[in-house]
Structure 1
């Protein structure tokens, strides 16, 4: 029976920390009034990229919800959470953008309930539902003011989840580290810009969403600057600079209506955004009408009729998508009525999702690329520290007395990436797949894990180039008995210069290797891009001998890449600069 309450709890997490249901049948009862200031807004940080509010009681009292086994949800809530989840009145949620330290967006929610919460029973039974509880030292480090529980669940792998009582009718639920910072800062005396944006959208709707451009503007501009966009669409690269925020308010219970606002940084910027939207709609209209005209001119009566239908409906739909300019905002409002075109409403939602999701995905991709770059920089620093201690780089493989490869260089630099305890547990005179050593495969350090990799557990995509004239060209020499490391080339052997020679690269997921295995990228000078090119969108990161990391395009000149891999060819390079 553990699966049922676990499933209900995961559903509860999804409902409070993600997006709520948006389409429910209307009910006759009047909706409760919305507070002048939406609850929880005084905890919204300045760097919030997404803010939302849901009038939860309107959904939970909806006849459609009452058709489900709410009694089970109530019983499970009281047993494991210490309160009845059906008594929740509102949910405010906050999403912060990805960062180098946290490549996934972080989030928390402020939940209000009409039921009186008790500290003794609040989340008291949660341990039997989750995958583990947070250690006291982790709580003390991240959130010493925690008034509740902190735990880990596979349903939310970003961080520990913390449940924190604010008062007898309000609690917070979200990432332990983020909530620790938010609570430590205390409620804001004055609403932050993202909170003000959401509050301004308050028109009594059932739910609101606000996207704040400022925290991700630089990331989006960086990504767009690298994109090859043909004229006349290059103007769309300026969208982040012109946009202040985007808000969406939805009525889903008493009526079906929605209002979308695209807010420009000033009136001039709003005018430019309006021009861009109108240009896109006009281009779409021309394309649609061109295809429809072909049908209209058909000798087949049915095809001609279909063409006329497409002309009539497409014009109506595109007209419905044209926003109205109101000061610094572009406004689209829709309400289902006898005269409305339901298809146009659906088209609007589809287009909005298509426009906003790529921006979020690109921001997340940029953060993951940055985290991977940081991993490579840590590897580079470890290589340099190893060289300082042993007067040489690690060999590509730790060998035995006969020169047989046993373990990867990744094992030999463990003490230099703060993994001395793991290093000391290896049997350095045994191969990577010995009965003792293979137990460490599943414990691969995070430094060796590329954030966006889909390789199996224990596989890394950080490999050194091996081959003629590379830094790791020489076959590893035999290692004296009892010696824990095998030394390779030194910096003096890299005559092309450290800043001109590749030391380690990101390979494609299908070229990943077990991290302890002495296996790396065999450079094929006839096919130098083999195993490379899609570790990141449009290319891969490369660690150079001086510790710098640069992005190599998938369209790199192959001769130039050959020169980058070779340490002593003397050729002039075109080194990419990030």
Structure 2
């Protein structure tokens, strides 16, 4: 007996190309993602994150480097100021002991150099044990010494020698604080320069012209410092005009000078 489907037609009468009404629904196109694709995605995310970290780290370093450099410069300048302050205190103590500042250069009757103002200060530093007859061969006292470890026998602290200054240009001539009528706090006693140096026990000092030229050539981040007659340490502010400079050097000229 022939079979019939639900519409009453025999199954045998269906066309060979006609789909059976009982055929199952076709499969949905497409396949589930493979595990390999997921791994590639994860690797991409990791690599991308790594590069993001590198970029952020580079930016952080770029931002921090100037701050680190500025901190080092500030620390160096603080050390320079502290050392110069000790030179000032030694000069005050020398004056208290001798009622005068040390001579720029002291010579014997034969014209031989006996001492300079720097070597005369040695007993007033902590390194008072230094009694070497040839001081040029030994490191400078720390307050006078350059911060450069390779230049331990050099100093960048200079007297500015002038007939009307705190250090005379003539040998065996000393200045007393009673000679300073312009005020100790308004008169330069010495200068510390970043761009000049000499042997710490040498007789090399600076004339006003030499000092002015050296000061004008100071460039940032370097800094120079005044040592005033009251042992105060003041950073040199540029630009500096020659009239103000000469007024600060003069001990009894009555010139108007800025207050520090």
Interval containing the TM-score (normalised by the shorter chain): 0.7 to 0.9
5+ long unaligned stretches in structure 2: 1-43
Tell me the equivalent position of 2:189: 503
Post-superposition CA distance 1:526-553 (Å, at most 9, x none): x653222538725311110011111112
Structure 1 stretches of 4+ moved >4 Å: 338-341
Q: What TM-score do you get using the length of structure 2 for normalisation?
A: 0.73
**Corresponding position of 2:154:** 459
* Pair 1:373–1:571, CA change in 2 (3 A): same
Pair 1:353-2:61 in alignment? yes
Shift of the 499–438 alpha-carbon distance from structure 1 to 2, 3 Å rule, reads closer
SS in 2 for 1:407: strand
Q: Which moved more, 1:459-468 or 1:400-409?
A: 400-409
Q: Which has the higher contact order (CA 8 A, sep 6+)?
A: 2
The structure carrying a bigger strand percent of its residues is 1
In the TM superposition, residue 460 of structure 1 has moved relative to its aligned partner by 0.6
1:494 to 176, 180, 193: 180
Equivalent residues of 1:376, 1:504 under 8 A apart: no
Residue 410 (structure 1) aligned to one of 97, 115, 118: 118
Q: How does 1:276-425 map to 2 (within 5 A)?
A: 337-339=46-48, 342=51, 345-422=53-130, 425=131
Match of 1:471 in 2: 166
Q: Does the Cα contact within 8 Å between 1:405 and 1:476 map onto a contact in 2?
A: no
Determine helix, strand or coil for the equivalent of 2:224. Answer: strand
Cα deviation code 1:460-489 (max 9, x no counterpart): 101111134221124012xxxxxxxxx611
RMSD over aligned Cα, in angstroms? 2.6
Inter-partner Cα distance in structure 2 for 1:383 and 1:338: 66
Equivalents in 2 of 1:384, 1:341: separation in Å?
A: 62
Instruction: Work out the number of aligned pairs and report it.
Output: 216
2:137·2:153 contact (CA, 8 Å) conserved in 1? no
- Deviation of 1:495 after TM superposition, in Å, equals 1.9
- Shift of the 528–381 alpha-carbon distance from structure 1 to 2, 3 Å rule, reads closer
Q: How do residues 189-338 of structure 1 correspond to structure 2 at under 5 angstroms? A: 337-338=46-47
> Hey, what does 1:512 align to over in structure 2?
197
2:103–2:168 CA contact under 8 A, matched in 1? no
Q: Aligned-pair distance for 1:400?
A: 1.9
Shift of 1:393: 0.4
Q: Residue 127 of structure 1 aligns with which residue?
A: none
CA gap of 1:370–1:437, structure 2 versus 1, over 3 A, is: closer
Larger radius of gyration: 2
Q: 1:543 to 1:401 in 2, by over 3 A?
A: same
Query: Is 2:256 the counterpart of 1:558?
Result: no
